[in-house]
Amino acid sequence: MLRLEKRPQPSRLWTALTPILAVLATMVAGGLLFAALGKNPVEAIRVIFFDPLFNDQVASFARPQILVKAGPLILIAIGLSMGFRAGIWNIGAEGQYIMGAIFGAAVGLALYPMDHALIFPLMVVAGALGGWLWAMIPAILKIAFRTNEILVSLLLVYVAEQILASAALDLLRNPDGGGFPGSRDLSEWDTASNLELIAGSGMHWGVVTAFIAVIAAYVMLSRHILGVHLRLAGQAPRAARFAGVRPGMVVFLCFTVSGVLAGLAGLFEVTGPAGQISIDFNVGYGFTAIIVAFLGRLNPIGILLAGLLMALTYIGGELAQFMLGLPAAAIQAFQGMLLFFLLALDMLSNYRFRLVTREAV
């Protein structure tokens, strides 16, 4: 008989192999899903993973878009990973992303049509502030009243979505838009737009900030005492208290970092690829970033690679919808499979199967 037995220590081999095996398992299960929909599974997997990078007909457009999609995913996932390492579960990054976009866009629209070099920096500060303020709600409630940060941060996403709808329909609606919902197009206003730094590359300030966040997080986690405190708080809370780590300060710090980075992601998105505040501005980056964080093993370098991979599935998924007629729901299910298999296979890092005889049982 097979018995599931806890390992004395987590297996480093399985910890390293799990993300790779999860991707392979997702390809196989996704292929079966596509076959059930009447599509060629090999062709579907090729379009999703291969064509955006190597198909000459679409690669020139798809490659820059991979960076555009990866930027907010990496930025949000870096912030979330700090909390996850410390056992602080901020599930509401989508709401912080939305509020960062609203705050930043509101500052820019309030100064329209002024032409000044400080407008975009002010919008960046406002975006970071918006994300931080929204993250402080679950943080303060947890510190003061020991509420569950998972429930509070998640429910605040729906509140942020209602505020977004109100902003698009009323508060920030374009007065020259003929009554249609949505703000002015910020991408057409040079002093308030997040333009490409290198034409045709997809590289804008959001992508640059994501790379800076990866480097800063790596240095902090590997070279700074704060990284040790975060790991200690997550792995051994009682030992952390004896070491002088204050739980309230850890909660405050983790929500600050994740809120600021999520707010920045929203600001860079609304001033760049999205261009305006609209009812459907949020596309789930805050939730997808959770997959990116775990796929990257909460490691900054791993998150960078996982963000690029997830962005590839976004672009490849859009190509598969256009070229093969796959429904959007199938692509979303395919992306969700990645987290499912990652969590399922991650069990092997902490447990192992052992063959035992019935007499031993």
The radius of gyration of the chain from alpha carbons, rounded to an integer in Å, stands at: 22
Mean per-residue pLDDT for 253-282? 95
Residue 10 maps to a domain: no
Residue 352 maps to a domain: no
According to the model, what pLDDT value does residue 151 have? Answer: 96
Residue 193 maps to a domain: yes
Percentage above 70 pLDDT, the chain: 99
Residue 147 maps to a domain: yes
CB under 8 Å, gap of 24 or more: what pairs does 224-229 form? 226/253
Residue 4 maps to a domain: no
Percentage above 90 pLDDT, the chain: 67
* Residue 321: domain span: 40-325
* Phi, psi values for residue 61, rounded to 5°: -90, -40
Instruction: Find all residues with CB under 8 Å of 15, minimum gap 6, and list them.
Output: 297, 349
Q: What single string gives the DSSP state of each residue in 234-300?
A: HH-HHHHHHTT--HHHHHHHHHHHHHHHHHHHHHHHHTTTS-S--TT---SHHHHHHHHHHHTTT-H
- The CATH number given to whatever domain includes residue 88 is 1.10.3470
Report the mean per-residue pLDDT for the chain.
Answer: 92
Residue 246 half-sphere exposure toward CB, CA atoms < 13 A: 5
149-166 vs 93-110: helix crossing angle, rounded to 10: 30
According to the model, what pLDDT value does residue 231 have? Answer: 85
Interval 166-221: pLDDT, tens: 999 999 999 988 889 999 999 888 888 888 888 888 899 999 999 999 999 999 99
Centroid of chain to Cα 191: 27
Residue 162 maps to a domain: yes
According to the model, what pLDDT value does residue 360 have? Answer: 53
According to the model, what pLDDT value does residue 199 have? Answer: 82
Q: What is the DSSP letter of 182?
A: S
Number of structural domains the chain divides into: 1
According to the model, what pLDDT value does residue 189 have? Answer: 84
| pLDDT of 228 strictly over 60 | yes
Most confident of 117-121, 131-135, 240-244: 131-135
Closest CA to 40 of 30, 49, 51, 26: 30
Closest CA to 252 of 242, 240, 260: 260
What pTM value is reported for the model? 0.92
| Total residues found in the chain within this entry | 361
The helix (H) or strand (E) run that includes residue 322 is helix 300-324
Interval 47-90: pLDDT, tens: 999 999 988 888 888 999 999 999 999 999 999 999 999 999 99
Residue 178 maps to a domain: yes
Mean per-residue pLDDT for 88-101? 97
Q: What single string gives the DSSP state of each residue in 185-225?
A: -GGGSGGG----SSTTS---HHHHHHHHHHHHHHHHHHHSH
